[in-house]
Amino acid sequence: MTPSGTDGAQAPTGQPGPTPPAASGPALTATPPTLTPGKPIRLARGALVAEVQPGCGARVSRLARRDTRGDLFDYLVPLGNEPFSSDEWPKAGAFPMLPYTNMLRDDTLHWRERILTVREASVASSSLHGWGLRREWEVVDESSHCCVLQLDCPAQPEWPWHYQAYLSVTLDELGVDMQLSLTNLSAQEMPAGLGMHPYFRWPAGARLTFESEALWRSASEDIRWPSEQRVHVGPMEVVSVGGGLDTGGRSTWFAEVPSGTGRFDARIDYAGGLRCATVRSDNASWLVLHSPAGRPYLCLEPSTHRVGEFDHDHVVLAHGQTLDLSMRIDLA
């Protein structure tokens, strides 16, 4: 990853630096125990419609196509209207992951000479996927087909850096573009990672195709990071039986970006061949695939770093530097 900054310089990596200061962020930055869907931002372009919930972690709560009869076909699992725990969110929609993706080993970050417990005491597993999905974002721009949301996070004990994030969601007649950025506002350097987490519908008969340089699997469902590697995988195909990815009972795969391309393309074809969704990212290093057995959803998560290895596989942002991640979903 190459972060951008005012001078366009590459962020330094792994050099000794000052210890981050103690957190001084106000209490209101703490994760709320409950998130409640409100009136969504509604986007429309051609036959496509999307809804965004700024107050529920900047989540795209619906992405669908309207047919000639007026019926909607949902590509993402719709969020619904019921309040939910910020620690037990519905498996629906699509949300940003920041300032890192997925989880850290033992909820711990080893940062230079410090050991940080990356978990809020009031929320049992708040290290999972970071804090962006648990906070209310501010709407800074909105039109009939695009919205831009902002999240400002002062330093706190669990993450002693001040950062600001932006998410733009732009709908066109072919699909949706999601652009996520993270800027370090602290004087000290900050480790950073980004990801996007969509929940696609994954009914029996749906078919997934993608290509990967190497495919990693977790050793078991109790271990949630890569541990077993298959190298030079090439094209892959998975057919849904109503949930799950493989006969070994493991629900999560980790795919490295194909060498020489620098981009991911993963496509879901729905039964009957009438609808498909293609996920692309030009600046992700990994694609996390997740589908528990018996659960008819499939997550295709572009990520900038390897799950469970954030201590070593991250970008370091100097003050004012920005890390970017894109996700394009083409719909037919």
CA distance 306 to 324: 16
DSSP code of residue 1 = -
Q: Is the pTM of this model over 0.85?
A: yes
What three-state secondary structure class fits 6?
A: coil
Name the residue among 327, 271, 318, 242 with its Cα closest to residue 7: 318
- The alpha carbon of residue 117 and the mean position of all alpha carbons in its chain are separated, in whole angstroms, by 21
What would the DSSP string read from start to end of 252-290? EEEEEPPTTT--EEEEEE-TTSS-EEEEEESS-SEEEEE
The pLDDT of residue 5: 47
Query: Of 289, 291, 308, 299, nearest to 193 (Cα)?
Result: 308
Which residues touch 224 (CB under 8 Å, ≥6 apart)? 102, 103, 218, 252, 307, 308
Task: Please state, in angstroms and rounded to a whole number, the distance separating the CA atoms of residues 4 and 14.
Answer: 18
* Tokens describing residue 289: 């695939």
Q: What is the mean pLDDT of the chain?
A: 88
Domains in the chain with CATH codes = 34-331 (2.70.98.10)
Contact between 243 and 208 under an 8 Å Cβ cutoff? The reply is no
* CA–CA distance, 277 with 329 (Å, rounded to integer): 6
Cα gap 207→197, rounded to integer Å: 19
CA 289/CA 277 separation, integer angstroms: 15
What pLDDT score was predicted for residue 122?
A: 60
C-alpha–C-alpha distance, residues 281 and 266, integer Å: 9
Residue stretches of the chain with pLDDT short of 50: 2, 5-28
Name the 3-class secondary structure at 157: coil
Burial grade of 313 (CB within 10 A; 0-12, 13-18, 19 or more): middle
Cβ atoms of 181 and 324 closer than 8 Å: yes
Render 76-97 in DSSP notation, one character per residue: BPP--SS-EETTS--S-SEEEE
Q: For position 221, what pLDDT does the model report?
A: 74
The total of other beta-carbon atoms located within 10 Å of residue 88's CB is 8
Cβ count near 236 (within 10 Å): 16
Distance from the first to the final alpha carbon of the chain? 31
Amino acid occupying residue 4: S
